[in-house]
Structure 1
Amino acid sequence: MRKFMISAMSSLALAASAAASFAQTVVIAPEQETVIKEYVTKQKVKSVDVPNVTVSIGATLPDTVELHTVDVPDVKYRYAVVSGKTVLVEPDTRKVVHVIN
């Protein structure tokens, strides 16, 4: 029984570790967010609606959504305006990593 418990605890720890690595939080400093908001406002990118996609962190945007470069130092993400919300997107995976309010 003890051997089973140790094995179960090891498996649980491994699963928790794997989940934590997938759920990494992207931290955008408030100053960066302000600069990004101002940049996006000046670019006047039109909002697009994407059927069957809820705008939230982790959502994947389809290839039909154009990703725009953020001309702000130290920001490696692209942005799009979806359903009136500006989102930062990981360009390789097209996953939303931050929603700017």
Structure 2
Amino acid sequence: MRIHLTAAAAGFLLLAGIGAAAADTVIIQPEQETVIREYVKKQPLASVTLPGVELNIGTALPDTVELREVPDVQYRYVVIDNRTVLVDPGTRKIIKVYE
């Protein structure tokens, strides 16, 4: 009986971890996507280089990187290595990389 409870507990913890990872996924509504794309196109920024920082979703950017506001959207953006990156300002984590 004890072995079954341990296996069940391990399974539960595994599923809880998967749920937590899925909760970090940010969904940008189509209306917001349009606002972001149009604003970034009208307000181009100079590209910065961040050696050693990979532009992946979930990567946190250093505090030295200046994030620019997009009006009416809770996220910020910056251009790194000629790629526009959308960032959660609270965590400074990348939520989307535009090609």
TM-score in same-fold range (> 0.5) = yes
Which position in structure 2 is the counterpart of 1:60? 60
Unmatched segments (≥5 aa) in structure 2: none
Cα distance, 1:35 vs structure 2: 2.1
One-letter amino acid matched to 1:50: L
Question: Quick one: distance in 1 between partners of 2:88 and 2:68?
Answer: 11
Question: Quick one: distance in 1 between partners of 2:2 and 2:49?
Answer: 54
User: Which consecutive segments of 4 or more residues in structure 1 shift more than 6 A?
Assistant: none
Percent identity for Structure 1 against Structure 2: 47
Taking only aligned residues, the RMSD between alpha carbons, in angstroms, comes to: 1.7
Counterpart secondary structure, 2:79 = strand
Q: How many residues align?
A: 98
Counterpart secondary structure, 1:36 = helix
Question: Quick one: distance in 2 between partners of 1:51 and 1:84?
Answer: 13
- Answer whether contact 1:33 1:100 (CA < 8 A) is retained: no
One-letter amino acid matched to 1:81: V
- Answer whether contact 1:57 1:96 (CA < 8 A) is retained: yes
Unmatched segments (≥5 aa) in structure 1: none
- Answer whether contact 1:87 1:96 (CA < 8 A) is retained: yes
Question: Quick one: distance in 2 between partners of 1:92 and 1:30?
Answer: 22
